[in-house]
Amino acid sequence: MSKNLAPATPPNMPVTPTIRQKGKKEKGMQRIPGQKNFWQRLKNQKALILMSLPFVIWLIVFRYIPVFGWTMAFQDYKPQNTFFEQEWVGFKHFKDLFNEPTFYRALENTLGMGILGLIFGTLAAITFALLLNELRFTKFKKLTQTISYLPHFVSWVIVANIVTTMLSVSGPVNGFLEMIGLIDTPINFMANPNMFWGIVTAAEVWKSTGWNAIIYFAAMAGTDPQLYEAAKVDGASRWRQMWHITLPSIRPVIIVLLILNIGNLINIGFEKQMLLGNNIVAERALVIDLYALNYGIGMFRYSFGTAIGIFKSVISVILILIANGFARKVGEGRVF
């Protein structure tokens, strides 16, 4: 195969040297190990094997053994027993889970904050990318973009600090609302359970909009400039160009990201809820991962906690299949 490759490459192409060398190399490689048997190649590649073996072991220990740990969900797992001494109980822990009212509250909170985050997160990122794309002043544009993704890189601990500081009774947000006369007495944002979902969503939007916009912004750069020229000739305003050209041109990207994000609706994690939550808002802050953490590790119900994890994975797969099937049905792009 490599024999045919080299002569077939046009000699005047700038990439030719690399391709030729690659071809030559493959030929060389094939000549020596191709004739030698597997064991001889193995012997020649001792260094490569030594260099990869520790990491293969690492992958098995740190990535695959935990997956094997899923068996715990079907046992009454006791840490002092070996695997063969564990008592198998079938779906008992799943049945317990579905009979637990707290679980449904955790599910509601997870999906609630997940959906809010998905809607506002996506809208904010697309809007920001659209506006940035229209901005004329190139240097200022670059500066805005660079500043906009700063919050993505700071930890949730810092963001939670910022949010509680900004929203505190004597904080800037209350100060601003009082100044413009919207409220008379400061609002204690962090101690109101009904506001918790909104606060988490706002924090999420503040942290991730700039970063999430990068992908839409990059997609917009690929729009055919002729479309804009044609629209200008037809007298379309910049507003209409945004709406009828830029936005449709990034539609495939929007659909793909939506499908992936819907699959992750249930995987919103626990960091925000754990760091921003407190006892007063606990009933609105309890998400599935926190529930698994509290029960599984806090109360030593390891099997129960593992069952929660499996439930999450199953829901995640179902959600992504539904979203993908829906996108396929309405004739839009899809992930698979």
* Residues 213 to 272 in contact with another protein, rule: CB under 8 A: 214-215, 218, 238-239, 271
Nearest distance in Å: CB 305, another protein: 4
Region binding another protein by CB under 8 A among candidate stretches 4-12, 46-54, 106-114, 221-229: 46-54
Nearest distance in Å: CB 211, another protein: 8
Residue 166: phi and psi, rounded to 5, are: -65, -35
Residue 136: phi and psi, rounded to 5, are: -85, -40
Strands (E), the chain: 75-76, 87-88
- Over the window 133 to 172, marking each residue x when it contacts another protein by CB under 8 A and - when it does not, the resulting string is -xxxx--x--xx-xxxxxxxxxx-xx-xxx-xxx---x-x
Contact status, residue 311 vs residue 304, Cβ threshold 8 Å: no
Does residue 67 touch another protein according to CB under 8 A?
Answer: yes
Most distant pair of Cα atoms in the chain: their distance: 86
Number of residues that bind another protein (CB under 8 A): 92
Does residue 210 touch another protein according to CB under 8 A?
Answer: yes
Does residue 81 touch another protein according to CB under 8 A?
Answer: no
Which residues have CB under 8 Å from 73's CB, separation 6+? Answer: 93, 94, 303, 306, 307, 309, 310
Can you name the residues that pair with 88 across neighbouring β-strands?
75
Nearer to another protein, 62 or 88 (CB): 62
Nearer to another protein, 237 or 322 (CB): 237
Does residue 5 touch another protein according to CB under 8 A?
Answer: no
DSSP H or E run through 228: helix 225-233
Question: Encoding tokens for residue 316?
Answer: 């995640």
Nearest distance in Å: CB 330, another protein: 21
Does residue 49 touch another protein according to CB under 8 A?
Answer: yes
Site residues for another protein, 314-333, by CB under 8 A, read none
Which amino acid makes up residue 275? L
